[in-house]
Amino acid sequence: MAPRTLDTARSGPHNQPDGRRRCNRLNELAGHARPSSRAYAVQVRPAALAILVVCLALAGCDLSSDDGERSEPASSPYSYEARVIRGWLLALDRMDYSGAAYYFAPGAIIDQGDPYRLRDESAARVFNASLPCRADLIHLKHEVRTVLASFRLRRGPGGPCSGVVKVRYTIRDGKFTEWRQLPSEEPPAGDPA
């Protein structure tokens, strides 16, 4: 038997990978010309795109570019944002202020009525250590570019605490770039007796 040359090794349908050979045979049976590898790639992309769109639709993703001020329903307690916030709360509960500072991006905005920026990790440690109360995350609401978290306050280093406080977060890459505490909602004044 004569040794095969490079040209003869490439020729013929039996020397192609199984998947490509089957595809070529199916195209021949369907009456299509044998596609080039470039045409084959173009033929696969619409099918892959269709599958991707169906998967995203089933997952509930919104592909629209609506930048309105709509709010989405309450978030899962296991969402990315909830896990980041809970990680920060856990560090505070352990009085691990360096660990809590990790959750703040350099230059993060802090707003408790008088906004300022945390210039570095040291400033983030000081901010976290200054919080007088501890808190439990009780509600999370996704907004267009932010997350609104509601916390039930409890005893902390500053003594007894109670009530509910809301903080609006902007979270990027697992870090708070904005931490804005909303003003407390005062109960409506009662009618005079």
Grouped pLDDT means (10 residues each) for the chain, 193 residues: 47 50 52 50 51 51 40 64 96 97 97 96 97 96 94 94 96 97 71 46
Domains in the chain, number: 2
**Do residues 110 and 159 both lie within one domain?**
yes
**Do residues 94 and 163 both lie within one domain?**
yes
Indicate whether 4 belongs to any domain: no
**Do residues 43 and 116 both lie within one domain?**
no
User: 24 is in which domain, residue-wise?
Assistant: 16-59
Q: pLDDT tens, 12-37?
A: 445 555 555 545 554 555 555 554 44
Tell me the CATH number at 168. Answer: 3.10.450.50
Q: pLDDT tens, 161-172?
A: 999 999 999 999
**Do residues 98 and 29 both lie within one domain?**
no
**Do residues 48 and 131 both lie within one domain?**
no
Q: What is the CA radius of gyration of the chain?
A: 29
